[in-house]
Amino acid sequence: MKRSADSRAGAGGSGNAYSRILEAIFTQRFRPGLERVDFERREIESVAARLGIPLPKNLGDVIYSFRYRQRLPERIRLAAPPGKSWIIRPAGRSKYSFVAAAAAQIKPNPSLASTRIPDATPGIIEMYRLGDEQALLARLRYNRLIDIFTGITCYALQSHLRTTVDGLGQVETDELYVGLDRRGVHYVFPVQAKRGDDNISIVQIEQDLAMCSAKFPDLVCIPIAACAMKDGLIALFAFERSPTDGDSGTVAVTVEKHYILLPPEEISPDELRSYSRNRLEGTR
């Protein structure tokens, strides 16, 4: 999902304009003991006027900034119940909710081993890519990384899908794949692409699950997040809905794998033999 100049400008410390607006909205509605605080987008405008803060061109950038780029203001964070933190969920068209959740942001595990893959990305794509997220999506596509990661034959169905879902409003998915396994089961894989400094938000994963449930009810949905890390490393995550706490919106990571794309000549025969041995040992 792309970030606008407004959201980048709004990022920063707790004293910036976005933080002041969101903190004011939260504190005027929050009461001790609450784990959900509802508000509407139009409140951003009224609160900004009261505080004398110039409005961003896109009011939604205020919400986006705190979902994916920066931490919520300290006053909001401290109001969360023990063991939980606040996330911002959509609650309908131009409506949102602060919700106390057990896990709000997901980051790659820096100690996880990586698999080296011969890079099949066409050079001309690298020359003319228009952004880091677009480049990441292209690498996933040309190197069949979704197939490799899931073990399922996958096909890119649509890029930058924007649609509406009842109860949520508009949702956006960076890339949508469909797939088929050896037993004939059909899958849908909504993919969210992130730069290394962006957060993987469970809110986006929840939205992908809801979108697939509404638009592809007969397919098995496995949401995926792809994160472009340093030194060409790509982290892939698979998710599923977690029933552990009875919260139908909670999601959990089921698989995390790291891949690094390299020129074919940099992958040695010894590495290939090592991968083969690991596979054989894993089947015993």
List, for residues 216-258, the tens digit of each pLDDT value: 999 999 999 999 988 889 999 999 986 654 444 578 899 999 9
CB neighbour list of residue 246: distance below 8 Å, 6 or more residues apart: none
Q: Tell me the two tokens of residue 151.
A: 């073990």
Lowest-confidence segment of 146-150, 161-165, 185-189 by average pLDDT: 161-165
**Residue 283: predicted pLDDT:** 47
Q: The dihedral of CA 162, 164, 169, 174: what is its sign? A: negative
- Is the pTM value of this prediction over 0.85? no
Count CA atoms within 13 Å of residue 27 on its CB side: 14
Tokens 């605080």 appear where?
37
Alpha helix ranges (H) inside 31-131: 42-51, 60-68, 74-78, 123-128
The rounded mean pLDDT for the chain is 84
